[in-house]
Amino acid sequence: MTDIRDNLMARIIEAEREGWLDEVEGLQVSLAGAQDKLDQLDAEAARRSSAVDLGMSAFADIANRTTTASADQYRP
């Protein structure tokens, strides 16, 4: 996506140099769309990289727990 953005910027410079005003306008719209998409991808990457505490016990915490039951609990 960054290659697309960079290519659009180069094409805008070329179109301005050649005086292709309609082309410049269309390329600027495409550039804005590419930049929006890059911003969305960056935001998604930031969300995925941050850990969320779900309040769940780790396996080690659960495995260390023991229960004691009296013999009376198992009589019919």
**What pLDDT does residue 48 have?**
81
Residue 19: the pLDDT is 94
Distance separating alpha carbons of residues 14 and 23, to the nearest angstrom = 10
Max Cα-Cα span within the chain = 94
Residue 38 neighbours by CB distance under 10 Å: 14
- Residue 30 burial (10 A CB sphere; 0-12, 13-18, 19+): middle
Q: Domain residues of the chain, as ranges?
A: 1-41
Residues of the chain with pLDDT under 70: 62, 65-76
Q: What is the pLDDT of residue 74?
A: 60
